[in-house]
Amino acid sequence: MSHSSHFPHQEPYKLECKPVGLCVIINNKNFMKKKPREGTDKDAESLAEVFSWLGFRILMCEDQESEKMKATLQYFASPGDLSQLQEFSAKEWSGSEFIDPQKAPEHGDAFICCVLSHGELGEVSGIDDKHLSIKEITRTFRETEDSPLTGKPKVFLIQACQGSMTPPGVKSAEQNLQCDSSKPETTADLVNVLVAIATVEDYKAGRDPYHGSWFIQSVCQKLKEGCLKGENISEIFTSVTDEVSKKDGRTKEGPFKQVPEIRSTLTKSLVLSPHHK
C-alpha cells in the first residue's frame, strides 16, 4: 500500500501550530538478555536534530520494557501533565542534547513516533524481550471523536528486524553490520497514517554500531534534502527505499541487503518545512 511519487494537485495537510507537533522517540539500547544496540543513540540524535529542524518538539524515552512502552504510547496519545511525563523518565531535545522536560506535551498538527529496538515479524521488542505489535502501536493513536490527532497526519518509523532471514548481498562491503532481530501481522489500516519499517516482513534490519542504522540515517538525510525542495513525505520515503535497497553490507553471517517497507493511508500531501528559530 504505497503512494505514487507525485501529487501535483493533492491538498496538503495544514501545519500551522508552533511547534508543528510532537516527535516521540522510544530508544531501546540496553536489553536484559542481549548485547547493547550499539549505534542506536546516533539514530536517536539524528532523528531529534532533523525533526527539531522541521519544527517538532522532541521527547525521548529510553530502555523500556514492553508494558512500559505500551503505557508510554498511551500517555502520548492523549498527554497528561508534566508529573506523568516524568514517570516515563522522558528527556527533551534542547537543540544539542537531551535534558529534563520543563512542560507537559501538547499535540500540534502532526505526530511522529520513532521506535528503535529489536523486533520480530510485525512486532517490536521491549528490553525484557517481550513484544508489542506494530499494529497495537498504531492503534493506540487511532482516530476517535475525542482524539487530539483525529484528521492529522501520524508517521511511525520502526527500526527493528521483522524476522531472521537475510537477503543475499550482491557484493561484499567493508561494513561490520549488526542486526535488530529479537505470526504474521500487518499494521492496522488506519486513516492518516504512514508506517515506515526498516525492512520487509521476515527479514533483518542492519545497524552500523558507529554510524547508526541504514534506514534511520537514510530517513534523516533524505528529509534534510527533500524538505528543502518542498517534497512531500511519500516522495521522500520512496527515495529512502531506493537508497537503502542499493546498499551492500556484511554481517558475521555474510553479505547483507535490506529493503524498507512503507505503508500509507495518508489522505493528503504531507509537506514538512524547516523552521528557523
Contact between 195 and 187 (Cβ < 8 Å): yes
pLDDT tens readout for residues 236-253: 999 999 999 888 777 777
Q: Which of these, 107, 106, 89, lies nearest to 98 by C-alpha position?
A: 89
Q: Which amino acid is at 275?
A: H
Q: How far is CA 102 from CA 26, 81, 83, 85, 175, in A?
A: 19, 11, 10, 10, 40
Name the percent of the chain lying above pLDDT 90.
65
Residue 203 CB partners (closer than 8 Å, separation 6+): 161, 162, 163, 165, 166, 167, 258, 259
Question: Which 3 state secondary structure label does DSSP give 22?
Answer: strand
Q: Is the pLDDT of residue 188 over 70?
A: no
pLDDT (0 to 100) of residue 178:
57
Of the candidates 61, 118, 179, 227, the residue annotated as catalytic is 118
Q: Is the pLDDT of residue 146 over 90?
A: no
Q: Is the pLDDT of residue 232 over 50?
A: yes
> 0.75 cut: is pTM over it?
yes
CA dist 116 and 43 (Å) reads 8
Contact between 244 and 218 (Cβ < 8 Å): yes
Of the candidates 61, 113, 161, 220, the residue annotated as catalytic is 161
For each of the domains in the chain, give its residue range(s) and CATH number, in order of start: 21-163+173-264 (3.40.50.1460)
Higher pLDDT residue, 103 or 276? 103
118 is catalytic: yes
What end-to-end distance do the CA atoms of the chain give, in Å? 36
